[in-house]
A = this chain, B = another copy of it.
Amino acid sequence: MLFFTQCFGAVLDLIHLRFQHYKAKRVFSAAGQLVCVVNPTHSLKYAPTRCAAAQASTEQGILPACHHHEAVHDPQLVPCTCPLFSCPWEGHLEVVVSHLRQTHRINILQGAEIVFLATDMHLPAPTDWIIMHSCLGHQFLLVLRKQEKYEGHPQFFATMMLIGTPTQANNFTYRLELNRNQRRLKWEATPRSILECVDSVISDGDCLVLNTSLAQLFSDNGSLAIGIVITTSKVHSSEAEM
């Protein structure tokens, strides 16, 4: 009997997932856009103290004092950049992606334009929605975080990090777009390098920031669809063109 109940639950889950996927496709119906349903993860690390000294990131692939365990002795090694866990892993920048996939089970998607569909936006802060995104020969980490900067007032922060150096990151532009209820919000910026640490980017507020009421306006049945486009950035003539 228990077996049948579980089977029935699993089938219901699948139908729900399929329905969410269909809904996102309907909203973002441009041909060829991949919709990825991203489930939330309750952050297990103690965010505020992590990355306190991460601002001083360098071009050499070192992430100074950006994790809890002992200091990195080999300057070629970077610590685990997963924003969810205080993970003792360290390795070369080139193997960060496979570590994130294998150890932290973060999905990776292909394509320059994807739709990130974050489910269960109502869950209490701190909560993260994370995915890796492979395009233009590089891998990016998209982080959506629900966090209470001001107690009792959760906000949503979304940013894109390049799994690479800050110099490499300067070659790209990413755009996050919300579009619903006759409202549209677009954020466009140069991705940061994961060597700069996602926590400090979010605490600086240098990302897409949504208060709860705006997040609700853009959500559909508790899910928030974020359209993502990554392009190689030309010389920034964009400031003049408006």
Binding site for B on A (CB under 8 A): 26-30, 33, 149-150, 153, 173, 177, 179-180, 182-190, 204-206, 209, 211-214, 217, 227, 233, 236, 238-242
Contacts and interface: CB of A to CB of B under 8 A. Distances in A.
Given A182-B190, A238-B179, A240-B27, A217 B206 contact: yes
Nearest to A170: B182
A192 to B, nearest CB: 11
Nearest to A183: B189
5 contacts: A27-B240, A30-B241, A185-B185, A206-B213, A209-B214
A30 B237 CA distance: 12
How many copies make up the complex?
A: 2
User: What 7 pairs between A and B have smallest CB-CB spacing?
Assistant: A184-B188, A205-B213, A150-B150, A186-B186, A183-B189, A29-B240, A205-B211
Contact of A177 (B27, B177, B204, B242): B242
A242 B206 contact: no
Contacts of A180: 239
Contact of A188 (B30, B183, B190, B212): B183
A211 to B, nearest CB: 5
A185 B187 contact: yes
Nearest to A241: B30
Nearest to A185: B187
A236 B179 CA distance: 11
A38 B6 CA distance: 63
A182 B214 contact: no
Nearest to A204: B213
A220 to B, nearest CB: 11
